[in-house]
């Protein structure tokens, strides 16, 4: 029994000796690589009854990774190339008004709908140029700026509506959405300090497919907000 205790105490001493090296390896960070998470919201300059987008219930969530080339720990600024594959989750929510001309409302059964939500998932690629200020022995840059292009291809689409029928409120999700364009793309910019950043996206491609909907006279698909702004982290 005494021998067992001696072996146990010897193991603790050995673990304490190796602990600093283990902790150092645990907190080692590849400065060429980040895990990126961001959330952005559409910039709605004016709410209309015909196209009533709800900004705080809409927007995009991005989760992915980012690589950089030319990174170094030298003090001073540095220009870098960046590339990021991500998963993109989009949602656009419309509130009901008497004048709503929202694509997809024809799929809702007769009744008073309260909310109409478009959801989609996509594979997204981003690439750009980054300038950053790096301090020696720092885990993250002191500050940085990045700008470039982005594009995505939708792999899943659905419509969810909340409606009142016969005095009951029902929530129904319909898989597939013929109104959403399969591809999107545009420009982006980020400004960050260490691991946190603010970001902005500009959409060059439309959210909806080109065409018209509704009965005569046909109405053109409305345009969603061109800008999104948000926050994110890069760890």
Judge contact between 132 and 143, C-beta under 8 A. yes
Instruction: Quote the pLDDT of residue 18.
Output: 42
Nearest of 214, 209, 189, 210 to residue 199 by alpha carbon: 189
- Higher pLDDT: 12 or 175? It is 175
End-to-end CA distance of the chain: 47
Nearest of 116, 119, 193 to residue 157 by alpha carbon: 119
Buried b / exposed e over 206-218, threshold 16 CB at 10 Å, is ebbeeeebeeeee
Q: What share of the chain is helix, strand, coil (3-state, %, to 5)?
A: 15, 55, 30
If DSSP states are collapsed to H, E and C, what string results for 174-190? Answer: EECCCCECCEEEEEEEE
* Strand 143-165 relative to strand 227-234, pairing: unpaired
Residue 12 lies in a domain: no
Tens-digit pLDDT profile for residues 142-178: 889 999 999 999 998 888 878 777 777 777 787 877 7
Give the DSSP letter string of 45-84: S---SSS-B-GGG-EEEEEEEEEEES----SEEEEEEEEE
In angstroms, rounded to a whole number, what is the distance separating the alpha carbons of residues 214 and 184?
A: 24
Q: Please report which confidence band the pLDDT of residue 232 belongs to, taking 50, 70 and 90 as the band edges.
A: very high
Tens-digit pLDDT profile for residues 190-208: 999 888 999 999 999 888 8
In angstroms, rounded to a whole number, what is the distance separating the alpha carbons of residues 28 and 235?
A: 12
Residue 7 lies in a domain: no
* Strand 183-193 relative to strand 196-203, pairing: antiparallel
* Strand 59-69 relative to strand 219-220, pairing: unpaired
Sign of the Cα torsion 71, 76, 80, 82 reads positive
Q: Please report which confidence band the pLDDT of residue 9 belongs to, taking 50, 70 and 90 as the band edges.
A: very low
Phi, psi dihedral angles at 113 (to 5 degrees)? -85, 145
- CATH number assigned to the domain comprising residue 149: 2.40.160
Looking at the chain, list the stretches that DSSP marks H as alpha helix, in order from N- to C-terminal side: 2-26
* 119 to 131, 158, 176, 185: CA distances (angstroms): 34, 5, 10, 17
Note the maximum CA span of the chain. 93
Residue 211 lies in a domain: yes
Buried b / exposed e over 61-93, threshold 16 CB at 10 Å, is bbebebbbeebeeeeeebebebebebebbbebb
Residue 53 lies in a domain: yes
Residue 74 lies in a domain: yes
Q: Is the model's pLDDT at 210 over the cut of 60?
A: yes
Residue 6 lies in a domain: no
**Tally of domains within the chain:** 1
Tens-digit pLDDT profile for residues 79-126: 889 999 999 999 888 776 655 666 766 666 655 677 788 899 999 999
Domain span at 40: 27-234
Count, residues in the chain: 235
Residue 172 lies in a domain: yes
Residue 8 lies in a domain: no
Tens-digit pLDDT profile for residues 19-28: 344 444 444 6
């Amino acid at each position: 029994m005494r021998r067992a205790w001696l072996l146990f105490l010897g193991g603790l001493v050995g673990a304490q000796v190796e602990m600093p090296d283990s902790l150092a390896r645990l907190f080692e960070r590849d400065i060429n690589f980040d895990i990126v998470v961001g959330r952005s919201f559409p910039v709605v300059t004016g709410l209309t009854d015909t196209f009533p987008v709800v900004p705080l219930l809409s927007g995009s969530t991005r989760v992915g990774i980012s690589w950089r080339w030319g990174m170094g720990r030298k003090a001073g600024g540095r220009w870098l190339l960046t590339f990021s594959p991500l998963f993109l989750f989009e949602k656009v929510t419309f509130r009901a008004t008497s004048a709503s001309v929202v694509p997809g409302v024809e799929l809702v059964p007769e009744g008073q709908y309260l909310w109409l939500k478009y959801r989609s998932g996509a594979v997204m690629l981003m690439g750009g140029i980054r300038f950053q200020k790096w301090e020696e022995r720092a885990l993250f840059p002191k500050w940085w700026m990045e700008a470039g292009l982005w594009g995505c291809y939708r792999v899943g689409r659905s419509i969810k509506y909340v409606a009142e029928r016969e005095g009951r409120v029902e929530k129904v999700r319909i898989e597939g959405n013929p109104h959403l364009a399969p591809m999107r793309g545009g420009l982006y910019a980020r400004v960050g300090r260490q691991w946190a950043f603010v970001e902005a996206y500009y959409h060059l491609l439309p959210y909806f497919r080109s065409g018209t909907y509704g009965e005569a006279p046909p109405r053109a698909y409305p345009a969603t907000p061109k800008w999104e702004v948000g926050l994110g982290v890069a760890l």
